[in-house]
Amino acid sequence: MTVPPFERFYAENRDAVFGHLVRLLGRQRAEDAFQETFLRALRGYDSLRHGRYLRAWVFTIATRVAADEGRKRRPEPAADLDGETTDDRPTYAQIEHLADELPEKERAAVVLRYGYDLSYSDIGTALGSSEEAARQAASSGVRRLRRRLQ
Amino acid sequence: MTAVPKALDQRFREAATEAGLVDVSFDVADTQIGPLLLAVTERGLCRISFDPEPDRETETLARTFGVRVLRAPRELDPVRRELDEYFEGRRRDFDLPLDLRGREGFSRDILERLAKVPYGEVTTYKSLAVEAGNPRAARAVGTIMNRNPIPIVLPCHRVVGSNGSLVGYGGGLERKRLLLDLEAGTPRLDIHLS
């Protein structure tokens, strides 16, 4: 799938990304983060090799920008962005090198969940599926990775 | 989903062009001959299209000039201004730099010759072919006119058949007639175009 003109990508994703940033940062700070998110996206846009999972890609940028914003405002590192705490989750460093071998949807879900701490609701939005489908894709990806690690 | 406020959307578009991150800026302008899609690169004006539907045109622009194509109205202000002056009969020549990347060889040669056809005059497909040293290429010249990326500014409306007939025009014969009438000092630009 070829990379579409930036205008189309922007028009298709701006509202969803803005909503995501408002949830993470509140309305006021979301405005600064919004501009920074799409400027970063523009900087990398002509290096993209295909147009798949563009929404997931821009959500990862937005989440990273939000985390940077969080660090600027707070002396402590930002906590889990969706407020969820779990003990037995693998760290992303443990699974990153294996994620490339996963089916695409599972890979995107795993990367967004464990690499960028997106909530399942946001991952669902990013991948164009339901929250439950996102949860299942991430969980199935992790199971597959665990089997490979054993 | 939360709609992006209009002011924020506009701020982003301006920040993007100011940062030099855009390959092509475009906008749709309302003119006396209908809506026109206008596009510029950092080198100059690269497209005027009679098809104002951005989705179709931006694909072509992305293939020729780069995928970072963004609607950025402010970047088109100088083009819009010169076109307004032209349609009001206050401008005869355009002072806009042009970006003709993607048009090379014979096609480029013909477009450069076309640019020199004066306001209010007409030439023929055959004459342009002869000037370019290829008298049998009148039909090829017609094709090049039909694919002219910057009509009006590159005045393909000033090219007619050897018998004086209008022959054809990318924007439709009615527009060709209107432009020629405008330049002849008998404008009928109030005519509604479908």
Q: Which residue of B has its CA nearest to A51?
A: B67
Confidence of residue A84 (pLDDT cuts 50, 70, 90): very low
Does residue A14 belong to the interface with chain B, where contact is any CB pair within 8 Å? yes
The Cα-based distances of B70 to A48, A55, A131, B59, B88 in angstroms read 17, 18, 32, 12, 29
Q: Does A34 touch chain B (CB under 8 A)?
A: yes
Distance from CA of B101 to the nearest CA of A (A): 18
ipTM: 0.90
Residue B118 in tokens:
């004066």
Q: Is residue B61 within 8 Å of B39, Cβ to Cβ?
A: yes
Question: Which residues in A lie closer than 8 A to residue B66 (C-beta atoms)?
Answer: 46
Which residues are bridge partners to B123 per DSSP?
Answer: B159
pTM: 0.79
Considering B37, B48, B129, B156, which one is annotated as catalytic?
A: B156
Nearest residue to A92 via CA among A123, A70, A128, A118: A118
Taking alpha carbons only, the member of B186, B180, B150 closest to residue B167 is B180
Q: Give the CA dihedral B75, B78, B84, B87, nearest 10 degrees.
A: -110
Q: A129 pLDDT exceeds 90?
A: no
The region of weakest confidence among A67-71, A129-133, B124-128, B183-187 is: A67-71
pLDDT digits (tens, 9 = 90+) for B24-66: 999 999 998 999 999 999 999 999 999 988 888 999 999 999 9
Asked if A15 is an interface residue toward chain B (Cβ–Cβ < 8 A), one would say: yes
Residue B25 vs residues A37, B46, B133, B142: alpha-carbon distances, Å: 19, 10, 36, 29
Is there a contact between B22 and A3 if contact means CB atoms under 8 Å apart? no
- Least Cα separation, residue A142 to chain B (angstroms): 29
In the residue annotation, B46 being an active-site residue is answered as no
Per-residue pLDDT, averaged over B55-84, amounts to: 96
B7 CA to chain A: closest CA distance, Å? 10
